[in-house]
A and B are shown apart, each in its own frame.
Chain A
Amino acid sequence: MQMSVEELAGGVTKVVLEGRLDIAGAQEIDLKMNVIAGSKKAVLVDMQKVSFMGSMGLRALVAPAQAIKGRGGKMVLFAPTEMVEKVLKASAIDAIIPIHHEFQSALAVLQ
């Protein structure tokens, strides 16, 4: 799992994930996501290139999302693939972390 971070205008942090968010992938991003969760308040996670997600991957997203929310911030998931979105919705994660397929609507949630 590859992870890159970009600061956008308006104080939004864009995290781009690429690869499998399986057990190994979750471990690879855990520390970096925790750092972001502790320092950023408007986070967009670009899921377009996430090819797989399991329950460990869900935890790797939920924990930072809850931490950001606890600090008064917000996190959104942008454009997961059909099957990854099915995993997210089956676990009701979309109730914690909104999912948006339009970039501008995702940004609007954060601003």
Chain B
Amino acid sequence: MSLDSASTNEDTLTLESKLSEILRIPLWLQSLATRDGISERTQFGMDLCLEEVLSNIIQHGYARTPHRRILVRYGKPQEGTFTLIVEDEAPPFNPLLFPDSAIPHPPGQLSHGGRGIHLLKQFADTLNYEQTPTGNRLTISFVRPESIPQD
């Protein structure tokens, strides 16, 4: 999907490539959480994953180039899963292939980017990466806690 043709609705956020745009995420998630009954724990995970992905896109994918766009879409809950889709028009980068750097490196020597991707992997339930004709698409899914079978 071209970012230019993205429809604007409450489940879609189009961000400019400025770190300050990430400040729009918490309130947006809060409105979705209230509407769809997303738990605080899941909301925290969604907030964290988006902060890490978006900051990496802005700082590295777009190399802080202004006036570029990032699309964040929220997929309505299906089969007990909440989904966020982040699309950009940056050079190809699959965060799932980025080395997991939290262990065994000494924590004090972690790069910021590596730490962020590690947190993404820790807090998302599933991650799916696709290279698109114009950039990257990352799908981040979270399972509703009540959907997890209890033994």
Contact = CB atoms under 8 A, between A and B. Distances in A.
Interface stretch (A2-10, A40-48, A71-79, A84-92): A84-92
Contact of B107 (A20, A23, A54, A62): A62
A20 B103 CA distance: 26
Contacts of A92: 102-103, 107
A93 B47 CA distance: 20
Interface of A: 20, 22-24, 52-56, 58-59, 62, 66, 82-83, 86-87, 90-93, 95-96
B88 interface: no
A58 B109 CA distance: 12
B20 to A, nearest CB: 8
Interface in B78-112: 102-103, 107-108, 110, 112
A90 B122 CA distance: 7
By size class, the interface of chain B is: 20 to 34
Contact of B19 (A23, A86, A91): A23
B41 interface: yes
Closest 5 pairs between A and B when the two form their complex, measured CB to CB: A55-B116, A92-B107, A90-B122, A54-B51, A83-B44
Interface in B91-142: 102-103, 107-108, 110, 112, 115-116, 118-119, 122-123
A64 to B, nearest CB: 12
A90 B123 CA distance: 9
Contacts of B19: 23
B100 to A, nearest CB: 11
Contacts of A96: 107-108
Given A23-B55, A90-B122, A92-B102, A58 B115 contact: yes
Among A55, A82, A87, residue most surrounded by chain B Cβ atoms (within 10 Å): A55
